[in-house]
Structure 1
Amino acid sequence: MAGPKRLSNGKWRVQVRRKGQKFDRTFERKTDAAIYYADVLRMVEGGATRDTIQAPSDMTLAMVISAYLTQVDTGRTNRANLERISDRIGGITIRNMSALVVQDYVDGRLADGITGQTLAGDLSALSSVLKWARHVRKIDVNPDLAKDARTALTAARIDTRSNERTRIPTQDELDRIVAYLDGNPRQKVPAGTITRFAAASAMRISEICRIQIEDINWNQKSVLIRERKDPRRKARNDQVVPLVGEAYEIARQRAAGRAEGRLFPYNHKSAGTAFQRAVAALEIEDLHFHDLRHLAITELFRLGLPMELVAVVSGHRDWKHLKRYTQLSANDVHSAIERLQHNTL
C-alpha cells in the first residue's frame, strides 16, 4: 500500500486496495491526504484488535499541527504557539517524535530568554495536538511527551505558573475606545456598543455575540446564556444571568422591536479585533477585551453587592475563581467605609 501520491495537477491522491476493500480519494493538501491514509490503514489493518496505527513515514509534526488547526477551533494564542512550534520542529516526522526532540525545543526556547510561563503555554499547546493525534486520529505517538517536559521544568525549579492579570481600563480609556470605535465610518461591527455592553454585563465576547433575543426575559431583565464556559463542568452549562446596569438598555436598543435572532449578529473575533485595533491606535498599553469582564465584576463589588450576587452575574461557582477577576484596591476599602459611616448617621 503506497502513501499519498502527488498528481500532475498538484493534488494528492490516496489509493488503497486491501482485503477486498478499495479506497480512492483526492485531496487538495498533502496533510489531509496523509491523515486519511492513516485512517484507512487503521481500518483495514488494525481491525478491532489494534488501538493505533503507525504513522506514514513522511508524516511530519507540521502536517499534524496543520490538520489539528483545521479541525479544532483554538484561540489566537494557541494558534500562534503551534505555528511557532511548527516552524521550529515541524519537520520532524511523527515516527521520530521523542522526549529528546521536545527537550531540544525546550532548551532552544529557554536560550531565547523566554519565561517559564510562556514555555508552559507552548508545551500545553503541543500536548493538545499530541493527544488529538493519539486519541482522535489514532496515530501511534506518545501523547504525554509535552506533559512530561513540563513536569521536568517544575523539577528544574523553572516557574511555569501564569501571572494573574490585574489590568482593568480606566473610565477615560473606556470612553476613548468607545469614541474611537463609534467614530470609525468603515467599522461595520458595532464594536463600540459591544464594548459598552461587555463593560456592564461581565460577559465574554463570545457569549455576547451568541445572545438570542428570544432568550431575553424583558420583565425580569435577564438573559439565558447557553453553554456558558465552565472548566469544571463537562455537561451543558446554561445560565440565566441578570442584565445589569447599562447592559439592559443596550439590549433594548439592539432588539429594536425584534422578537428573535441574535442580539449582536456578528463574528466575535471581528469585534475583538476591532477593539484591539482601537487600543493600538490610541496607544493604550496592555489592555485586552477580556479585561472588560474584570472591570464589570470589580464595579459590582464596588457597589457593595455580596459575593453570592456578583457570582450570579459572572457565572463563577466559587470565590477562588471569582477573586482573580476582582481588582479592588485600598481606595475601594476606604470608599466602602465612608458609605457605611454615612448611612449610619
Structure 2
Amino acid sequence: MQIRIARTGQADYSESKTFPKKAMAAEWAKRRELELSAPGGILAAKWKGVTLHDAIERYLHEFADGAGRSKRATIEQLQRFPIVRVKITELSSEQIIDHAQVRRRSGVKPSTTAQDITWLGIILKTAVAAWRMPVDLNEFESAKLLLRSKGLISRPGSRDRRPTLEEIKQVRAYFQRSQKIRPSAIIPMEDIMDFAIASARRQEEITRLTWDDLDEVAMTCWVRDAKHPRQKMGNHKRFKLTHEAMVIIQRQPRKQDEPRIFPYSGKSTGTRWRAATADLTQQKWTLV
C-alpha cells in the first residue's frame, strides 16, 4: 500500500508498506494520512530515525570547515557519548541532563560540560534553521536552564595569577634537559615560553607572527586572526612589544622562504608544554 501527499510548491511525499490484508492497508493509509497532514507531520516523518550522531556528522561536513582544531575536537568528542544515539526529533531535556550528569561523574569540570552543551545547542539550532528538522528547542533550553542553576555547567574560571619564578625555573630546566637528550629538537621552547610571558599572546598566535608584520622601530607587531568569541577570521590586531619580547624576536634566525618569526607548529609547541607541566606535576609542582 502506498500513500502520497502532494503539497503546492514542494516535492511530493510518499510512504509505502505491505500488509497481508487489504483492510489493514486501508486502515494504515487513513491513519498515516491524518498524521502526516498534522502541522510538522511530514517533517517528522522525513527525519524519522535520524540520530544526533547523524546531525553532528552533517554539521561537521557542511559547517565546520573553518572551525579551529580544538573546537572540532570538542564536537567530535561529543560523538563518543550515548546521547548521540538518540533520535534527534525525540531528544528530551531529561536526556541532555543525564549527559551532563555522566560528564560530572567522570570528573570533568562544569566548564567542560558547558562546552558540550554549547555545541549541542549549536547543532540543534542548525538542524532547525538549515535542515528544517522538527527539533523541540524548548527541551534544550529547559535543560540548559536547569543545568546552569544546579551548577552542572558554568563559565571557566579565570586565571588569577602568573607562574612563580620558581615554577618558571623548573619548566626551563625541563626544556634544557630535553634539549640535551634530543639535540635535534628544533623548537626553542624557552624562547617561546619567555615570549608568551612577555607578550601575553597565545601559542597559536605566536606561531603565526611574521617578519613583515613586525615594526622594530615602533616595537609593534600584528597578530593575524586573533582569538575572538564570534569573529573567527580576519580579527587582526596590532600589539605593543615589550623590550624583553623584542630581544627574543631579534635573536630568532631568519630562514629563507619562511615568513614566520617562530616557524613551528602551534600543536607541537602545545604538546611540548603539556609534557613539561605533566613532568613537573609528578614532581609535586603546581602549575597554572
TM norm structure 1: 0.57
Partner Cα separation in structure 2 for residue 91 and residue 158 of structure 1: 22
Moved more, 275-284 or 154-163: 154-163
User: Alignment partner for residue 245 of structure 1, among 218, 243, 246?
Assistant: 243
Question: Is the CA contact (8 Å cut-off) linking 2:114 and 2:153 kept in structure 1?
Answer: no
Change in CA separation of 1:81 and 1:239 when aligned onto 2, cut-off 3 Å: closer
Partner Cα separation in structure 1 for residue 43 and residue 266 of structure 2: 39
Change in CA separation of 1:221 and 1:169 when aligned onto 2, cut-off 3 Å: same
Cα RMSD, aligned residues only: 3.7
Q: Partner of 2:85: helix, strand, or coil? A: coil
- In the TM superposition, what is the alpha-carbon distance from 1:277 to its structure 2 partner? 0.7
Q: Partner of 2:251: helix, strand, or coil? A: helix
User: Alignment partner for residue 267 of structure 2, among 266, 269, 286?
Assistant: 269
Question: Is the CA contact (8 Å cut-off) linking 1:81 and 1:125 kept in structure 2?
Answer: yes
Residue equivalent to 1:287? 287
What residue ranges of structure 2 are gaps of 5+ in the alignment? 1-9, 12-39
Change in CA separation of 1:67 and 1:268 when aligned onto 2, cut-off 3 Å: farther
Residue equivalent to 1:60? 51
Q: Partner of 2:222: helix, strand, or coil? A: strand
- In the TM superposition, what is the alpha-carbon distance from 1:169 to its structure 2 partner? 1.4
- In the TM superposition, what is the alpha-carbon distance from 1:272 to its structure 2 partner? 1.0
Q: How do 1:163-312 residues align onto structure 2 when only pairs under 5 Å count?
A: 163-182=157-176, 183=179, 184-185=182-183, 187-231=185-229, 236-256=234-254, 261-283=259-281, 285=285, 287=287
- In the TM superposition, what is the alpha-carbon distance from 1:67 to its structure 2 partner? 4.6
Question: Is the CA contact (8 Å cut-off) linking 1:95 and 1:141 kept in structure 2?
Answer: yes
Change in CA separation of 1:204 and 1:59 when aligned onto 2, cut-off 3 Å: same
Partner Cα separation in structure 2 for residue 255 and residue 106 of structure 1: 49
Partner Cα separation in structure 1 for residue 141 and residue 160 of structure 2: 28
Partner Cα separation in structure 1 for residue 257 and residue 216 of structure 2: 11
Change in CA separation of 1:53 and 1:211 when aligned onto 2, cut-off 3 Å: farther
Residue equivalent to 2:147? 153
Tell me which structure has the larger Cα radius of gyration. Answer: 2
Q: Partner of 2:227: helix, strand, or coil? A: coil
Partner Cα separation in structure 1 for residue 162 and residue 173 of structure 2: 18
TM norm structure 2: 0.66
- In the TM superposition, what is the alpha-carbon distance from 1:251 to its structure 2 partner? 1.2
Q: Partner of 1:223: helix, strand, or coil? A: strand
- Paired residue type of 2:55: V
Q: Partner of 2:264: helix, strand, or coil? A: coil
Do structure 1's residue 102 and structure 2's residue 93 form an aligned pair?
Answer: no
- Paired residue type of 2:212: E
Residue equivalent to 2:122? 128
- Paired residue type of 1:181: F
- In the TM superposition, what is the alpha-carbon distance from 1:243 to its structure 2 partner? 1.4
Partner Cα separation in structure 2 for residue 172 and residue 273 of structure 1: 22
Moved more, 164-173 or 182-191: 182-191
- In the TM superposition, what is the alpha-carbon distance from 1:231 to its structure 2 partner? 3.6
Residue equivalent to 1:298? none
Partner Cα separation in structure 2 for residue 278 and residue 153 of structure 1: 35
Question: Is the CA contact (8 Å cut-off) linking 2:103 and 2:113 kept in structure 1?
Answer: yes
Change in CA separation of 1:181 and 1:139 when aligned onto 2, cut-off 3 Å: farther
- In the TM superposition, what is the alpha-carbon distance from 1:56 to its structure 2 partner? 4.3
Q: Partner of 1:90: helix, strand, or coil? A: helix
Residue equivalent to 1:329? none
Question: Is the CA contact (8 Å cut-off) linking 1:123 and 1:147 kept in structure 2?
Answer: no
Question: Is the CA contact (8 Å cut-off) linking 1:206 and 1:268 kept in structure 2?
Answer: yes
| Residue deviations 1:111-160 (CA, integer Å, cap 9, x gap) | 66766444433312322332344445554434564443221234457673
Partner Cα separation in structure 2 for residue 178 and residue 137 of structure 1: 52
- In the TM superposition, what is the alpha-carbon distance from 1:188 to its structure 2 partner? 3.8
Report the count of equivalent residues. Answer: 240
| Residue deviations 1:31-51 (CA, integer Å, cap 9, x gap) | xxxxxxxxxxxxxxxxxxx9x
Question: Is the CA contact (8 Å cut-off) linking 1:213 and 1:260 kept in structure 2?
Answer: no
Moved more, 179-188 or 217-226: 179-188
Partner Cα separation in structure 2 for residue 147 and residue 82 of structure 1: 22
Residue equivalent to 2:28? none
- Paired residue type of 2:241: L
